[in-house]
Amino acid sequence: MIYGVGVDMISISRVEKACKKSGFLNKVYSCKEIELYSEKPEKLAANFAAKEAFSKALGTGVRGFDLTEVELFRDELGKPYYMFTGRAEEIIKLNRLDSFVSITDEKDYVTVFTVLEKIK
């Protein structure tokens, strides 16, 4: 059963500019995300949009968890997937949710679509 859906679109240059500001990277991204993607603005933009899409699918906005607790990675074939830690992980487990995410980009923009499914 679908629990919620969320979508977010963002300009890659907007995220690239924000990442130059003091503290932005550490406020939004986990240490592992920074390690993997700090030199890849399109990946940072996708990860930011994924965090926003997740919060929309959850229906709470960014409340009750930190953005750094919602991580987005890619498998060996490039398929994106979420990893949750801290309070975000607690919310996922408490509500018995599974997550699905899709990313698309076109020139200057990234769009992310997220589905949260209630596990039986």
| C-alpha neighbours within 13 Å on the C-beta side of residue 92 | 18
Give Rg (Cα) of the chain: 14
φ and ψ at residue 86, rounded to 5 degrees: 55, -140
3-class SS of residue 112: strand
Domain of residue 21, residue span: 2-118
* Prediction pTM value: 0.94
Reported confidence tier of residue 17, pLDDT bands at 50, 70, 90? very high
Amino acid at 81: Y
Domain count within the chain = 1
* pLDDT at res. 7: 98
Q: What is the pLDDT of residues 90-101, one digit of tens each?
A: 999 999 999 999
φ and ψ at residue 91, rounded to 5 degrees: -65, -45
In CATH, what number is assigned to the domain containing residue 40?
Answer: 3.90.470.20
